[in-house]
Amino acid sequence: MMGISTRVGTFAQRTSLVQQMMTVQKRLYETQTQLSTEKKSQDYAGVSIDSFRLVSVETEKTSVQRFTQGNQIANVRLGTMETAVSGLRESVRTFRNDLIALNNQTFDPSNGDDLQKLREIQERAFATLQDVSGYLNTSTDGRYLFAGGRTTIAPVEVPYGDLDAFQADYTGDAGTGLIYPDTRPANVPDIKVTPDEMSAALSFGGGPGAYTVTVTPASAVNNIPVGATVRLSDSDTSETYTVTANAAGVLTLGEGANGTAATAATFDTSGTTIETVSYYRGDSLAIDHRVSADRTIQLGVTAKDPAFEKAVRALGTLAQGDLENNLGRLDTALTWLNESLDDSSTAASDLDTVARRIGFQQVTLNRAIEEAQSYEVFLENRQTEIENVNIIDAATRLQDDARALDVSFQSYARISQLSLQQYI
């Protein structure tokens, strides 16, 4: 007797076939996603074997990008500083050349024409001083670049609108007002003595043009240099004076800028603060910049650098009053301007040195940026190797899975049509 062997799809067989089709369909979808994103996976789980290396590469690349961004910002600031120093140097050089031409002449203080020439050089000196102030007060991104750590405060203060206002305070004669500081220590001091730091009340003495103030302890004012400008202030009065002598805690002061007498009748002997006055309002903090994870450099320069200070001192000395009776100030100012532009001393700073220093810092940052960009490219390549899919391999797998899924659907459709009735 002949038997006919037949196969009719059962529930278990159908379920198995459907599961296999769903597996192929899921793999097909994943491959399509890989081709569209060019990534092996959309999360770290899909590259679990290489996930640690991938995270390490991504972290390193992010760090490099942040250092590069910081270096680019610092480079912009240095570029701004370079422009400011270049303009300042040109302004000072132009005035120096004018002063040289004037200094070769003989002046007669009783000659009206000579006095007019002196007045003109003073006006140019004051205008150049304002130029220097403007350049040194350069800011970018809300930061004053020549102020050291006090980046929110304009580092240079020239609170006068014109030459007459300047000479009203700086008369050039301690008997009638202020004398512009003629030494570096006197020009950029930073000393403040409050009543809390004094062990006894102030003692005033002397008379107009030669007031004396005795401070206890003497050590509180020993470092105030002769020639410095000091401000005495209490709750009611504030006045500036030139220090003409300092011995054993006794300050000898010239006439006040506004004619205010330095006496016990004017100031509170137990509540008066003594502080030095300077054109520079920043600090001496050096700005450290991290170029990379293992390298730090100092950036920039402050407005109290000797190159700038000598220029300010020369211009202020010329702009103050009583020049006709102190013609020697012309030679002195010219010497300071020459030193500011190009100091022959290897230990001193001048504007050319400052410009070279900023230029060197720019070169350092540019080199660091280039190196970081090259390293970032290397890291991106490593990241690509880990997380990116092979397009050709993925396309081949997609084609194979699509063909397999198509055959599976055809087989499923064929099996679904089978029934016992067809064999009866």
Query: 150 with 293, same domain?
Result: yes
Tell me which residue of 169, 128, 166 sits closest to 311, measured CA to CA.
128
pTM comes to 0.80
Chain centre to alpha carbon of residue 76:
9
Q: Flag whether 266 is in a domain.
A: yes
Last residue of a domain, one of 279, 301, 327: 279
Q: What amino acid occupies position 55?
A: V
Do 143 and 204 belong to one domain? Answer: no
Catalogue the E-assigned strands of 280-396: 287-292, 295-299
For residue 5, the model assigns a pLDDT of 40
Claim to verify: residue 189 and residue 253 sit in the same structural domain: yes
At which of 240, 255, 279 does a domain end? 279
Does residue 147 sit in the same domain as residue 237? no
Q: Could you give the angle at which helices 328-341 and 351-387 cross, rounded to 10 degrees?
A: 20
Residue 389's Cα: distance from chain center in Å?
44
Give me the pLDDT at residue 229, please: 95
Position 399 in a domain: no
**Strands 287-292, 273-277: pairing kind:** unpaired
Residue 302 included in any domain = yes
* Neighbouring-strand partners of residue 253: 211, 243
Q: Are residues 377 and 322 in the same domain?
A: yes
Residues 67 and 150 in one domain: yes
CATH of the domain at 311: 1.20.1330.10
- The whole-angstrom separation of Cα 207 and Cα 102 is 39
Residues 292 and 249 in one domain: no
Distance of alpha carbon 6 from alpha carbon 58, whole angstroms: 60
Structural domain includes residue 164: no
- Residue 76 shares a structural domain with residue 145: yes
In a domain, 37, yes or no: no
Nearest to 316 by CA among 186, 407, 226: 186
Domains identified in the chain, total number:
2
Instruction: Assess whether 271 and 185 both reside in one domain.
Output: yes
The answer for residues whose C-beta is within 8 angstroms of residue 258's C-beta and 6 or more apart is 169, 239
Q: What is the 3-state secondary structure (H, E, C) of 10-70?
A: CHHHHHHHHHHHHHHHHHHHHHHHHHHHCECCCCHHHHHHHHHHHHHHHHHHHHHHHHHHH
Q: Is residue 223 part of a domain?
A: yes
pLDDT tens sequence for the chain (424 residues): 444 344 454 666 667 767 777 777 777 676 666 666 666 666 665 566 767 777 888 888 899 999 999 999 999 999 999 999 999 999 999 999 989 888 777 777 778 888 898 899 999 999 999 999 999 999 998 899 999 889 899 999 999 999 999 999 999 998 899 999 999 999 999 999 999 999 999 999 998 889 999 999 999 999 999 999 999 999 899 999 999 999 989 999 999 988 899 999 999 999 999 999 999 998 888 888 888 888 888 887 899 999 999 999 999 999 999 998 898 999 999 999 999 998 666 556 889 999 999 999 999 999 999 999 998 888 888 877 776 666 676 677 667 666 776 666 776 666 666 665 655 5
**Domain harbouring 263, CATH code:** 2.40.30
Residues 256 and 317 in one domain: no
Asked whether residue 121 is assigned to any structural domain, the reply reads yes
CA–CA separation, 184 and 182 (whole Å): 7
- Give the residue from 279, 313, 336 where a domain finishes: 279
Distances in Å between the Cα of 423 and the Cα atoms of 6, 8, 157, 414, 417 are 8, 10, 109, 15, 12
Same domain, 152 and 213: no
- Amino acid, single-letter form, for residue 49: I
Residue 162 in domain: no
| Confidence at residue 57, expressed as pLDDT on a 0 to 100 scale | 82
Print the domain residue range for 230. 180-279
Q: How many residues does the chain have?
A: 424
Q: Which long-range contacts (CB under 8 A, 24 or more apart) does 6-12 make?
A: 6/423, 7/418, 8/418, 8/419, 8/420, 8/423, 9/415, 9/416, 9/418
> How far separated are the first and last CA of the chain, in Å rounded?
17
φ, ψ of residue 194 in degrees (nearest 5): -95, 165
As a whole number of angstroms, the distance between CA 178 and CA 209 comes to 10
247/307 same-domain check:
no
Residue appearing with tokens 């076939």: 17
